[in-house]
Amino acid sequence: MPFTRRSFIKATGASVFLPAITGRAWAAEGGAPLPIPEILDLRAGDTGALTAQLSSAQFLQGRRTQTAGYSADYLGPVLRVNRGETARVQLGNSIAEPVSVHWHGLHIEGAQDGGPHNPINPDTTFDAALDIDQPAATLWYHSHIMGRTGAHVWFGLAGMLLVDDPGAMNSGLPDTYGEDDLPLVVQDRIFDGSGAMVYTPRGPSLMMGYRGNEILVNGAIRPEASVPAGLVRLRLLNGSNARIYHFHFEDGRQFTQVGTDGGLLSVPVGMKSLTLAPAERAEIIVDFSDGAAVRLLSGADGNSPMGGGMMGSMMPNPESDSSGAFEVMRFSVNSGLAPKVSTLANSIAGAPAPDFGAPVRRRSFRLDMMGGGMMGMMGGGGQGMSINGAPMDMAVINQQVKLGETEIWQIDAAEMQHPFHVHGTSFQVLSNGGTAVNPATSGLKDVVLVDGKAEILVKFTRTADAASPYMYHCHILEHEDLGMMGQFTVAG
Ligand code: C2O
Ligand code: CU
Ligand code: CU
Protein backbone atom coordinates (compact mmCIF):
# COMPACT_ATOMS: atom_id res chain seq x y z
CA MET A 1 0.00 0.00 0.00
CA PRO A 2 2.04 2.92 -1.17
CA PHE A 3 0.36 5.76 0.58
CA THR A 4 -1.69 4.70 3.51
CA ARG A 5 -1.05 7.21 6.26
CA ARG A 6 0.73 4.58 8.30
CA SER A 7 3.28 3.63 5.68
CA PHE A 8 3.72 7.28 4.78
CA ILE A 9 4.48 8.27 8.35
CA LYS A 10 6.73 5.27 8.81
CA ALA A 11 8.68 6.16 5.71
CA THR A 12 9.16 9.79 6.70
CA GLY A 13 10.78 8.61 9.91
CA ALA A 14 13.72 7.19 7.97
CA SER A 15 16.68 9.31 7.09
CA VAL A 16 16.14 9.23 3.41
CA PHE A 17 16.18 12.76 2.10
CA LEU A 18 19.40 11.59 0.54
CA PRO A 19 18.08 8.36 -0.94
CA ALA A 20 20.50 5.52 -1.39
CA ILE A 21 20.84 5.76 -5.13
CA THR A 22 24.50 5.03 -5.53
CA GLY A 23 25.89 1.61 -6.31
CA ARG A 24 22.49 0.27 -7.21
CA ALA A 25 22.58 -3.36 -8.24
CA TRP A 26 19.87 -2.83 -10.76
CA ALA A 27 20.22 -0.53 -13.71
CA ALA A 28 17.03 1.21 -14.62
CA GLU A 29 16.96 0.70 -18.34
CA GLY A 30 15.25 3.11 -20.63
CA GLY A 31 14.07 2.49 -24.14
CA ALA A 32 10.78 0.67 -23.64
CA PRO A 33 8.13 1.77 -26.14
CA LEU A 34 6.37 4.96 -25.09
CA PRO A 35 3.08 3.97 -23.43
CA ILE A 36 0.13 5.74 -25.05
CA PRO A 37 -2.62 6.17 -22.45
CA GLU A 38 -6.08 5.00 -23.41
CA ILE A 39 -8.59 7.66 -24.30
CA LEU A 40 -11.65 8.07 -22.09
CA ASP A 41 -13.95 9.84 -24.51
CA LEU A 42 -16.52 12.08 -22.81
CA ARG A 43 -17.60 13.80 -26.01
CA ALA A 44 -21.00 13.76 -27.68
CA GLY A 45 -22.86 12.43 -24.66
CA ASP A 46 -20.50 9.56 -23.90
CA THR A 47 -20.11 9.08 -20.16
CA GLY A 48 -17.26 7.49 -18.31
CA ALA A 49 -16.03 6.33 -14.94
CA LEU A 50 -12.77 7.12 -13.22
CA THR A 51 -11.94 5.26 -10.03
CA ALA A 52 -8.92 5.91 -7.86
CA GLN A 53 -7.25 2.62 -6.99
CA LEU A 54 -4.07 1.13 -5.60
CA SER A 55 -2.27 -1.18 -7.96
CA SER A 56 1.18 -2.16 -9.09
CA ALA A 57 3.17 -1.57 -12.24
CA GLN A 58 6.46 -2.65 -13.71
CA PHE A 59 8.90 0.21 -14.12
CA LEU A 60 12.08 -1.74 -13.41
CA GLN A 61 13.14 -5.08 -14.79
CA GLY A 62 12.05 -7.91 -12.58
CA ARG A 63 10.39 -5.72 -9.97
CA ARG A 64 6.80 -4.72 -9.34
CA THR A 65 6.18 -1.30 -7.85
CA GLN A 66 3.19 -0.39 -5.69
CA THR A 67 1.32 2.41 -7.41
CA ALA A 68 -1.91 4.32 -7.57
CA GLY A 69 -3.95 5.28 -10.61
CA TYR A 70 -7.34 6.35 -11.89
CA SER A 71 -8.86 3.25 -13.48
CA ALA A 72 -5.32 2.31 -14.43
CA ASP A 73 -2.28 0.84 -12.72
CA TYR A 74 -0.42 4.13 -12.80
CA LEU A 75 -1.74 7.58 -13.85
CA GLY A 76 -5.07 7.51 -15.69
CA PRO A 77 -6.57 7.63 -19.17
CA VAL A 78 -6.41 10.73 -21.35
CA LEU A 79 -9.84 12.33 -21.08
CA ARG A 80 -11.32 14.07 -24.13
CA VAL A 81 -14.08 16.63 -23.80
CA ASN A 82 -15.77 18.96 -26.27
CA ARG A 83 -16.38 22.65 -25.85
CA GLY A 84 -20.10 23.39 -25.76
CA GLU A 85 -20.98 20.08 -24.12
CA THR A 86 -21.43 18.80 -20.58
CA ALA A 87 -18.90 16.07 -19.96
CA ARG A 88 -20.14 13.46 -17.49
CA VAL A 89 -17.91 11.13 -15.56
CA GLN A 90 -18.55 9.14 -12.41
CA LEU A 91 -15.68 9.49 -9.97
CA GLY A 92 -15.03 6.66 -7.53
CA ASN A 93 -12.49 5.82 -4.87
CA SER A 94 -11.43 2.34 -3.81
CA ILE A 95 -8.50 3.63 -1.72
CA ALA A 96 -8.75 3.75 2.08
CA GLU A 97 -8.30 7.52 2.29
CA PRO A 98 -10.03 10.48 0.64
CA VAL A 99 -8.81 11.49 -2.80
CA SER A 100 -10.17 14.01 -5.28
CA VAL A 101 -10.14 14.75 -8.98
CA HIS A 102 -9.19 18.34 -9.60
CA TRP A 103 -9.56 19.49 -13.21
CA HIS A 104 -6.42 21.56 -13.56
CA GLY A 105 -7.04 24.31 -16.11
CA LEU A 106 -10.75 23.77 -16.62
CA HIS A 107 -12.96 26.82 -16.32
CA ILE A 108 -15.48 25.07 -14.15
CA GLU A 109 -17.50 26.19 -11.13
CA GLY A 110 -16.03 25.59 -7.69
CA ALA A 111 -18.46 22.80 -6.81
CA GLN A 112 -17.13 20.74 -9.76
CA ASP A 113 -13.49 21.74 -9.38
CA GLY A 114 -12.37 18.81 -7.23
CA GLY A 115 -10.36 20.86 -4.75
CA PRO A 116 -9.66 20.02 -1.11
CA HIS A 117 -13.24 20.82 -0.05
CA ASN A 118 -14.64 18.17 -2.37
CA PRO A 119 -13.01 14.87 -1.47
CA ILE A 120 -14.28 11.56 -2.73
CA ASN A 121 -14.37 9.46 0.39
CA PRO A 122 -13.50 5.76 0.32
CA ASP A 123 -16.14 3.67 -1.44
CA THR A 124 -18.24 6.64 -2.45
CA THR A 125 -18.85 8.14 -5.87
CA PHE A 126 -19.46 11.58 -7.27
CA ASP A 127 -21.13 12.28 -10.60
CA ALA A 128 -19.13 15.07 -12.15
CA ALA A 129 -20.90 17.21 -14.75
CA LEU A 130 -18.41 19.51 -16.42
CA ASP A 131 -19.80 22.33 -18.56
CA ILE A 132 -16.98 22.84 -21.04
CA ASP A 133 -16.63 26.35 -22.41
CA GLN A 134 -13.06 27.28 -23.24
CA PRO A 135 -10.64 27.02 -26.15
CA ALA A 136 -9.04 23.73 -27.17
CA ALA A 137 -6.21 23.01 -24.76
CA THR A 138 -4.04 20.39 -23.08
CA LEU A 139 -5.05 20.23 -19.41
CA TRP A 140 -4.71 17.62 -16.72
CA TYR A 141 -6.37 16.21 -13.64
CA HIS A 142 -4.96 15.12 -10.29
CA SER A 143 -5.86 14.47 -6.68
CA HIS A 144 -5.91 17.59 -4.49
CA ILE A 145 -6.41 16.68 -0.83
CA MET A 146 -5.14 19.10 1.80
CA GLY A 147 -1.67 17.95 2.87
CA ARG A 148 -1.75 14.88 0.65
CA THR A 149 -1.50 16.17 -2.92
CA GLY A 150 2.26 15.53 -3.16
CA ALA A 151 1.96 11.89 -2.12
CA HIS A 152 -1.13 11.26 -4.24
CA VAL A 153 0.38 12.65 -7.41
CA TRP A 154 3.76 10.99 -6.75
CA PHE A 155 2.19 7.53 -6.59
CA GLY A 156 0.13 8.09 -9.72
CA LEU A 157 -3.13 9.96 -9.20
CA ALA A 158 -2.90 12.17 -12.28
CA GLY A 159 -3.76 12.13 -15.97
CA MET A 160 -4.13 14.32 -19.03
CA LEU A 161 -7.31 16.03 -20.21
CA LEU A 162 -7.76 17.34 -23.74
CA VAL A 163 -10.34 19.98 -24.56
CA ASP A 164 -11.45 19.94 -28.19
CA ASP A 165 -13.27 22.85 -29.77
CA PRO A 166 -15.42 21.63 -32.66
CA GLY A 167 -16.54 25.21 -33.37
CA ALA A 168 -13.04 26.58 -33.91
CA MET A 169 -11.29 26.70 -37.25
CA ASN A 170 -9.12 23.70 -38.01
CA SER A 171 -5.68 24.43 -36.64
CA GLY A 172 -3.96 22.34 -39.30
CA LEU A 173 -1.77 20.83 -36.58
CA PRO A 174 -1.08 17.09 -36.40
CA ASP A 175 -3.97 15.45 -34.55
CA THR A 176 -3.80 11.69 -34.99
CA TYR A 177 -3.67 10.61 -31.36
CA GLY A 178 -0.87 8.23 -30.53
CA GLU A 179 0.75 8.66 -33.94
CA ASP A 180 1.65 12.25 -34.72
CA ASP A 181 -0.10 13.74 -31.69
CA LEU A 182 1.52 12.38 -28.52
CA PRO A 183 0.65 13.04 -24.88
CA LEU A 184 3.84 13.18 -22.80
CA VAL A 185 3.45 13.23 -19.01
CA VAL A 186 6.96 13.88 -17.72
CA GLN A 187 7.74 12.99 -14.10
CA ASP A 188 10.79 12.32 -11.98
CA ARG A 189 10.67 9.54 -9.41
CA ILE A 190 12.86 7.68 -6.91
CA PHE A 191 12.89 3.89 -6.59
CA ASP A 192 14.59 1.94 -3.85
CA GLY A 193 16.40 -1.34 -4.41
CA SER A 194 13.22 -3.36 -4.03
CA GLY A 195 11.54 -1.34 -6.75
CA ALA A 196 9.32 0.65 -4.40
CA MET A 197 8.70 4.30 -5.15
CA VAL A 198 10.19 6.42 -2.39
CA TYR A 199 8.35 9.54 -1.24
CA THR A 200 9.88 10.89 1.94
CA PRO A 201 9.98 14.69 1.80
CA ARG A 202 11.76 16.27 4.73
CA GLY A 203 14.35 18.96 5.36
CA PRO A 204 15.90 20.16 2.11
CA SER A 205 13.57 18.07 -0.05
CA LEU A 206 10.63 19.92 1.47
CA MET A 207 12.29 23.23 0.89
CA MET A 208 13.47 22.55 -2.63
CA GLY A 209 10.46 20.44 -3.50
CA TYR A 210 10.78 16.68 -3.79
CA ARG A 211 12.74 15.57 -6.84
CA GLY A 212 13.69 12.21 -8.28
CA ASN A 213 16.59 10.67 -10.14
CA GLU A 214 14.64 8.62 -12.69
CA ILE A 215 12.67 10.25 -15.49
CA LEU A 216 9.36 8.70 -16.49
CA VAL A 217 7.25 9.61 -19.50
CA ASN A 218 3.69 8.25 -19.41
CA GLY A 219 4.85 5.92 -16.67
CA ALA A 220 7.87 4.39 -18.44
CA ILE A 221 11.50 5.14 -17.71
CA ARG A 222 13.09 7.16 -20.54
CA PRO A 223 10.95 5.47 -23.21
CA GLU A 224 11.27 5.54 -26.96
CA ALA A 225 8.58 6.84 -29.29
CA SER A 226 8.33 5.68 -32.87
CA VAL A 227 7.15 8.57 -35.03
CA PRO A 228 6.41 9.26 -38.71
CA ALA A 229 8.96 11.15 -40.82
CA GLY A 230 6.97 14.39 -40.72
CA LEU A 231 5.71 16.93 -38.23
CA VAL A 232 4.79 15.53 -34.83
CA ARG A 233 2.90 17.32 -32.08
CA LEU A 234 4.10 16.69 -28.55
CA ARG A 235 1.76 17.65 -25.72
CA LEU A 236 4.20 18.08 -22.87
CA LEU A 237 2.91 18.11 -19.30
CA ASN A 238 5.30 18.60 -16.43
CA GLY A 239 3.56 16.23 -14.04
CA SER A 240 6.44 16.31 -11.55
CA ASN A 241 6.03 17.40 -7.95
CA ALA A 242 8.83 19.97 -8.08
CA ARG A 243 11.34 19.54 -10.90
CA ILE A 244 11.63 22.25 -13.54
CA TYR A 245 12.64 20.97 -17.00
CA HIS A 246 14.61 22.76 -19.67
CA PHE A 247 13.74 20.62 -22.68
CA HIS A 248 15.96 20.50 -25.74
CA PHE A 249 16.99 17.97 -28.35
CA GLU A 250 20.41 16.38 -28.29
CA ASP A 251 21.18 17.50 -31.85
CA GLY A 252 20.14 21.08 -31.06
CA ARG A 253 17.30 21.02 -33.57
CA GLN A 254 14.81 23.84 -33.54
CA PHE A 255 11.19 23.09 -32.71
CA THR A 256 8.06 25.20 -32.60
CA GLN A 257 5.81 25.92 -29.65
CA VAL A 258 2.18 26.11 -30.76
CA GLY A 259 0.31 25.84 -27.48
CA THR A 260 0.57 26.61 -23.82
CA ASP A 261 -1.50 25.95 -20.65
CA GLY A 262 -4.73 27.55 -21.84
CA GLY A 263 -4.72 26.77 -25.56
CA LEU A 264 -3.01 27.36 -28.86
CA LEU A 265 -0.76 30.32 -29.60
CA SER A 266 -1.91 32.41 -32.54
CA VAL A 267 1.72 32.79 -33.59
CA PRO A 268 3.98 29.72 -33.52
CA VAL A 269 7.26 30.37 -31.71
CA GLY A 270 10.50 28.77 -32.88
CA MET A 271 12.93 27.74 -30.14
CA LYS A 272 15.69 25.35 -29.22
CA SER A 273 14.97 25.10 -25.50
CA LEU A 274 11.73 25.17 -23.54
CA THR A 275 11.38 25.60 -19.79
CA LEU A 276 8.42 23.89 -18.16
CA ALA A 277 7.69 24.27 -14.45
CA PRO A 278 5.52 21.83 -12.49
CA ALA A 279 1.95 21.69 -13.86
CA GLU A 280 2.77 23.73 -16.96
CA ARG A 281 1.95 22.39 -20.40
CA ALA A 282 3.33 23.15 -23.84
CA GLU A 283 2.40 21.85 -27.25
CA ILE A 284 5.38 21.70 -29.56
CA ILE A 285 5.79 20.65 -33.17
CA VAL A 286 8.94 18.72 -34.02
CA ASP A 287 10.08 17.98 -37.56
CA PHE A 288 11.28 14.39 -37.98
CA SER A 289 11.37 14.46 -41.79
CA ASP A 290 15.15 13.92 -41.86
CA GLY A 291 14.53 10.43 -40.51
CA ALA A 292 17.16 10.76 -37.78
CA ALA A 293 16.69 9.34 -34.32
CA VAL A 294 17.13 11.89 -31.55
CA ARG A 295 17.00 12.12 -27.79
CA LEU A 296 14.95 14.67 -25.88
CA LEU A 297 17.06 16.01 -23.02
CA SER A 298 16.57 18.40 -20.15
CA GLY A 299 18.96 20.82 -18.54
CA ALA A 300 19.51 20.72 -14.78
CA ASP A 301 16.96 22.24 -12.40
CA GLY A 302 18.82 24.97 -10.56
CA ASN A 303 15.79 26.27 -8.67
CA SER A 304 16.88 26.60 -5.07
CA PRO A 305 16.47 29.01 -2.16
CA MET A 306 19.15 31.68 -1.81
CA GLY A 307 21.32 30.39 -4.60
CA GLY A 308 21.40 27.12 -2.60
CA GLY A 309 24.32 25.37 -4.26
CA MET A 310 24.76 23.23 -1.19
CA MET A 311 21.14 22.27 -1.05
CA GLY A 312 21.05 21.65 -4.79
CA SER A 313 23.86 19.15 -4.56
CA MET A 314 21.90 17.25 -1.91
CA MET A 315 19.00 16.66 -4.30
CA PRO A 316 18.65 13.42 -6.19
CA ASN A 317 19.29 14.08 -9.88
CA PRO A 318 19.24 11.91 -12.98
CA GLU A 319 22.56 10.79 -14.38
CA SER A 320 23.72 13.70 -16.45
CA ASP A 321 26.50 14.89 -18.69
CA SER A 322 29.03 17.53 -17.65
CA SER A 323 26.57 20.32 -18.49
CA GLY A 324 23.97 18.76 -16.18
CA ALA A 325 21.77 17.64 -19.11
CA PHE A 326 19.98 14.32 -18.79
CA GLU A 327 17.86 12.12 -21.03
CA VAL A 328 14.06 12.40 -20.94
CA MET A 329 13.15 10.06 -23.82
CA ARG A 330 14.14 9.03 -27.34
CA PHE A 331 12.52 9.32 -30.73
CA SER A 332 13.07 7.01 -33.66
CA VAL A 333 11.54 7.48 -37.06
CA ASN A 334 9.38 4.70 -38.46
CA SER A 335 9.33 4.79 -42.24
CA GLY A 336 6.27 2.52 -42.13
CA LEU A 337 4.18 5.37 -40.68
CA ALA A 338 2.95 7.76 -43.36
CA PRO A 339 3.50 11.39 -42.30
CA LYS A 340 0.18 13.22 -42.34
CA VAL A 341 1.34 16.80 -41.83
CA SER A 342 4.50 18.22 -43.34
CA THR A 343 4.10 21.99 -43.17
CA LEU A 344 3.22 24.47 -40.47
CA ALA A 345 1.42 27.73 -41.28
CA ASN A 346 2.76 31.08 -40.04
CA SER A 347 -0.31 31.57 -37.91
CA ILE A 348 -2.51 29.03 -36.20
CA ALA A 349 -6.21 29.07 -37.04
CA GLY A 350 -8.57 28.67 -34.11
CA ALA A 351 -6.17 30.04 -31.49
CA PRO A 352 -7.92 32.03 -28.75
CA ALA A 353 -7.81 35.83 -28.98
CA PRO A 354 -8.50 36.77 -25.37
CA ASP A 355 -9.91 40.17 -24.48
CA PHE A 356 -9.49 40.88 -20.81
CA GLY A 357 -10.51 44.53 -20.93
CA ALA A 358 -9.24 47.07 -18.43
CA PRO A 359 -8.32 45.88 -14.93
CA VAL A 360 -10.35 47.36 -12.08
CA ARG A 361 -8.35 46.10 -9.10
CA ARG A 362 -4.94 44.91 -8.01
CA ARG A 363 -4.21 42.17 -5.47
CA SER A 364 -0.86 41.12 -4.09
CA PHE A 365 0.35 37.67 -3.13
CA ARG A 366 3.64 37.23 -1.32
CA LEU A 367 4.92 33.66 -1.40
CA ASP A 368 6.98 32.93 1.69
CA MET A 369 8.94 29.89 2.77
CA MET A 370 11.04 31.28 5.58
CA GLY A 371 8.37 32.21 8.09
CA GLY A 372 9.85 29.80 10.61
CA GLY A 373 13.38 30.81 9.70
CA MET A 374 15.89 28.87 7.69
CA MET A 375 16.76 26.62 10.59
CA GLY A 376 13.12 25.85 11.24
CA MET A 377 12.85 24.67 7.66
CA MET A 378 16.01 22.66 7.78
CA GLY A 379 14.80 20.97 10.93
CA GLY A 380 12.14 19.43 8.77
CA GLY A 381 9.19 21.09 10.43
CA GLY A 382 8.18 22.77 7.23
CA GLN A 383 6.67 25.72 9.05
CA GLY A 384 6.82 28.91 7.13
CA MET A 385 5.22 28.02 3.81
CA SER A 386 2.61 30.72 3.45
CA ILE A 387 1.03 33.36 1.26
CA ASN A 388 0.80 36.90 2.59
CA GLY A 389 2.06 35.59 5.90
CA ALA A 390 -0.73 33.06 6.37
CA PRO A 391 -0.43 29.35 5.74
CA MET A 392 -3.42 27.70 4.07
CA ASP A 393 -6.36 27.30 6.43
CA MET A 394 -9.35 25.36 5.10
CA ALA A 395 -11.61 27.47 7.32
CA VAL A 396 -10.44 30.85 6.00
CA ILE A 397 -11.49 32.43 2.70
CA ASN A 398 -8.52 34.62 1.80
CA GLN A 399 -9.97 36.59 -1.14
CA GLN A 400 -13.35 37.43 -2.59
CA VAL A 401 -13.41 38.07 -6.31
CA LYS A 402 -16.21 39.47 -8.45
CA LEU A 403 -17.41 37.47 -11.43
CA GLY A 404 -16.36 38.98 -14.76
CA GLU A 405 -14.11 41.71 -13.32
CA THR A 406 -10.59 41.93 -14.65
CA GLU A 407 -7.85 42.25 -12.07
CA ILE A 408 -4.09 42.44 -11.91
CA TRP A 409 -2.57 39.97 -9.50
CA GLN A 410 0.97 40.65 -8.41
CA ILE A 411 2.93 37.70 -7.09
CA ASP A 412 6.20 38.15 -5.22
CA ALA A 413 8.56 35.24 -4.58
CA ALA A 414 11.73 36.22 -2.84
CA GLU A 415 13.63 33.06 -1.96
CA MET A 416 13.28 30.91 -5.06
CA GLN A 417 11.09 30.53 -8.13
CA HIS A 418 7.59 29.23 -7.42
CA PRO A 419 5.10 28.01 -10.05
CA PHE A 420 1.98 29.97 -9.03
CA HIS A 421 -1.31 28.42 -10.15
CA VAL A 422 -4.87 29.76 -10.11
CA HIS A 423 -7.97 27.57 -10.31
CA GLY A 424 -11.01 28.16 -12.45
CA THR A 425 -9.60 30.28 -15.24
CA SER A 426 -6.75 31.05 -17.61
CA PHE A 427 -4.76 34.24 -17.24
CA GLN A 428 -2.34 36.35 -19.19
CA VAL A 429 1.14 37.09 -17.90
CA LEU A 430 1.89 40.82 -18.06
CA SER A 431 5.40 40.78 -16.67
CA ASN A 432 7.81 38.41 -15.00
CA GLY A 433 11.22 38.99 -13.49
CA GLY A 434 10.91 42.69 -14.21
CA THR A 435 10.37 42.20 -17.94
CA ALA A 436 7.17 42.73 -19.91
CA VAL A 437 5.81 39.51 -21.41
CA ASN A 438 4.44 39.42 -24.95
CA PRO A 439 0.91 37.96 -24.79
CA ALA A 440 1.13 36.75 -28.40
CA THR A 441 3.97 34.39 -27.61
CA SER A 442 3.12 33.48 -24.02
CA GLY A 443 -0.59 32.79 -24.57
CA LEU A 444 -3.13 31.85 -21.96
CA LYS A 445 -1.68 30.37 -18.79
CA ASP A 446 -2.81 28.89 -15.51
CA VAL A 447 0.68 28.51 -14.03
CA VAL A 448 3.39 31.15 -14.01
CA LEU A 449 6.89 30.40 -12.76
CA VAL A 450 7.39 33.52 -10.68
CA ASP A 451 10.87 34.94 -11.08
CA GLY A 452 11.08 37.44 -8.22
CA LYS A 453 7.90 39.22 -9.19
CA ALA A 454 5.19 38.50 -11.75
CA GLU A 455 2.02 40.31 -12.73
CA ILE A 456 -0.92 38.53 -14.30
CA LEU A 457 -4.21 39.69 -15.80
CA VAL A 458 -7.02 37.54 -14.51
CA LYS A 459 -10.79 37.30 -14.91
CA PHE A 460 -13.32 34.63 -13.93
CA THR A 461 -16.34 33.38 -15.87
CA ARG A 462 -17.48 30.80 -13.31
CA THR A 463 -18.45 31.06 -9.66
CA ALA A 464 -17.08 29.39 -6.56
CA ASP A 465 -18.80 29.74 -3.18
CA ALA A 466 -17.35 29.43 0.32
CA ALA A 467 -18.29 25.75 0.50
CA SER A 468 -16.24 24.96 -2.64
CA PRO A 469 -13.80 27.82 -3.12
CA TYR A 470 -11.10 28.01 -5.75
CA MET A 471 -7.42 27.75 -4.77
CA TYR A 472 -4.32 29.66 -5.71
CA HIS A 473 -1.07 28.04 -4.75
CA CYS A 474 2.48 27.11 -5.49
CA HIS A 475 2.48 23.98 -7.66
CA ILE A 476 5.63 22.63 -6.05
CA LEU A 477 3.43 20.09 -4.33
CA GLU A 478 5.46 19.95 -1.11
CA HIS A 479 5.11 23.74 -0.79
CA GLU A 480 1.39 23.49 -1.47
CA ASP A 481 0.91 20.69 1.06
CA LEU A 482 2.76 22.71 3.70
CA GLY A 483 0.54 25.72 3.25
CA MET A 484 1.70 27.87 0.33
CA MET A 485 -1.91 28.05 -0.79
CA GLY A 486 -4.93 30.25 -0.32
CA GLN A 487 -8.58 30.12 -1.27
CA PHE A 488 -11.05 32.49 -2.81
CA THR A 489 -14.67 32.81 -3.81
CA VAL A 490 -16.01 34.19 -7.09
CA ALA A 491 -19.49 35.65 -7.04
CA GLY A 492 -21.62 37.96 -9.20
CU1 C2O B 1 -2.92 21.42 -10.41
CU2 C2O B 1 -4.66 23.39 -7.36
O3 C2O B 1 -3.81 22.32 -8.87
CU1 CU C 1 -5.64 23.60 -10.66
CU1 CU D 1 6.85 26.99 -4.06
Instruction: Give the closest residue to 278 by CA, choosing from 470, 415, 104, 428.
Output: 104
pLDDT digits (tens, 9 = 90+) for 241-257: 999 999 999 999 999 99
User: Distance, CA 421 to ligand 2 centroid (Å)?
Assistant: 6
The pLDDT, as a whole number, for residue 156 is: 98
When pLDDT is averaged across residues 165-173 and rounded to a whole number, the result is: 94
Q: Measure 482 CA to ligand 1 centroid, in angstroms.
A: 14
257-to-232, 254, 407, 449 alpha-carbon distances in Å: 12, 10, 28, 18
Per-residue pLDDT tens digits for 338-380: 999 999 999 999 999 899 999 999 999 999 997 645 554 554 4
Lowest-confidence segment of 65-79, 383-397, 453-467 by average pLDDT: 383-397
* pLDDT computed for residue 370 by the predictor: 77
24 has a pLDDT exceeding 70: no
**Could you identify the atom of ligand 1 that is nearest to the CA of residue 473?**
2
Please report the pLDDT score of residue 110 as a whole number.
Answer: 98
CA 279 to ligand 1: nearest atom: 1
* CA of residue 411 to ligand 3 center, whole Å: 12
Which one-letter amino acid corresponds to residue 452?
G
Name the percent of the chain lying above pLDDT 90.
Answer: 86
Whether pTM exceeds 0.75: yes
Q: What is the mean pLDDT of the chain?
A: 92
The atom of ligand 1 lying closest to the CA of 140 is 1
CA of residue 433 to ligand 2 center, whole Å:
23
pLDDT digits (tens, 9 = 90+) for 300-342: 999 998 666 666 667 889 999 999 999 999 999 999 999 999 9
Q: Whose CA is nearest to atom 3 of ligand 1?
A: 104
Give residue-wise pLDDT tens across range 252-288.
Answer: 999 999 999 999 999 999 999 999 999 999 999 999 9
**Pocket, ligand 1, Cβ cutoff 6 A:** 102, 104, 142, 144, 279, 421, 423, 471, 473, 475
For residue 305, the model assigns a pLDDT of 86
Question: How far apart are the CA of 142 and the centre of ligand 1, in A?
Answer: 7
What tens digit of pLDDT does each residue of 113-152 get?
Answer: 999 999 999 999 999 999 999 999 999 999 999 999 999 9
The full length of the chain comes to: 492
Predicted pLDDT of residue 315: 81
For atom 1 of ligand 1, the residue with the nearest CA is 104
pLDDT at 9: 35
